[in-house]
A = this chain, B = another copy of it.
């Protein structure tokens, strides 16, 4: 192979953003402003420029389309098939993010065409974006079984029943509440507050906050959290 000019390709980034509103797991989608496929729903996507890193491009694109800043984005997978984009040959680096819907409610204002959809009932998306979402859901289930990442989805104050409904939603099961709360509290990641949330029940449920120091330390650890690894059927 000689040193001729190397081939150049269009490189895109697409962001899968998950959120939780206290009841349902949701997905952030946007109505495409540009051709082709105008007005169809899609993930937040855009092209990587010559002058920026791929990770930076992802942050920039997410911010441009939704106003969201400071969101932790993680690489998911490269979708590089020849025919994935029907218009021109494009490879796409997919990213995914978890955010607390309430916290970003203001940032995600009506200036933007982005909207939350329950993950069970999303519209048909353009290109191979549905595949990307599927891959992201699997990765979320996989990681959440081992790492306490789902706290990213929660507001700064939350109750244990709220967390459980999130786990229940993500795994489509309902965990035993006694064992669930015991396991959760045993991590030492939660700090009990003296306040109660009275919306979900008559009795009210105590609020907790995240012990942030401990959370940071445990992010890179594996916790065997909540769901028994043997019950997972994913890669």
Across the interface, which residues of B come within 8 angstroms of A150, CB to CB?
none
Interface size on A, residues (CB 8 A): 51
Q: Which residue of B lies closest to A222 (CB)?
A: B229
The residue in A80, A93, A230 that gathers the most chain B C-beta atoms within 10 A of its C-beta is A80
Bound CA–CA A119/B222 (angstroms): 25
Across the interface, which residues of B come within 8 angstroms of A9, CB to CB?
8-11, 48, 50
Query: Of B1, B7, B48, B233, which contacts A7 at CB under 8 A?
Result: B48
Binds B, one of A14-22, A51-59, A161-169, A172-180: A51-59
Bound CA–CA A49/B80 (angstroms): 11
Query: Of B11, B51, B82, B145, which contacts A82 at CB under 8 A?
Result: B51
Least CB distance from A131 to B in Å reads 14
User: Known pairs A8-B11, A221-B230. 16 more at Cβ < 8 A?
Assistant: A6-B10, A6-B12, A6-B47, A6-B90, A7-B10, A7-B49, A7-B50, A9-B9, A9-B11, A55-B81, A75-B78, A147-B235, A220-B233, A220-B234, A221-B232, A221-B233
18 A-B contacts (beta carbon < 8 Å):
A3-B35, A7-B10, A7-B48, A8-B9, A8-B11, A9-B10, A9-B48, A48-B80, A50-B89, A51-B82, A53-B82, A54-B78, A55-B81, A75-B77, A146-B229, A219-B235, A221-B230, A222-B232
Across the interface, which residues of B come within 8 angstroms of A232, CB to CB?
221-222
Across the interface, which residues of B come within 8 angstroms of A46, CB to CB?
1
Least CB distance from A95 to B in Å reads 10
Across the interface, which residues of B come within 8 angstroms of A12, CB to CB?
6
Assuming the contacts A75-B77, A230-B221, asked whether A82 and B3 have C-beta atoms less than 8 A apart, the reply is no
Least CB distance from A75 to B in Å reads 6
A91 in contact (CB, < 8 A): yes
A204 in contact (CB, < 8 A): no
Across the interface, which residues of B come within 8 angstroms of A2, CB to CB?
34
Cβ-defined contact, A47 with B7, below 8 A: yes
Least CB distance from A3 to B in Å reads 6
Q: Which 6 pairs, one residue from A and one from B, show the smallest C-beta to C-beta distance? A: A54-B80, A8-B8, A222-B229, A220-B235, A6-B10, A6-B47
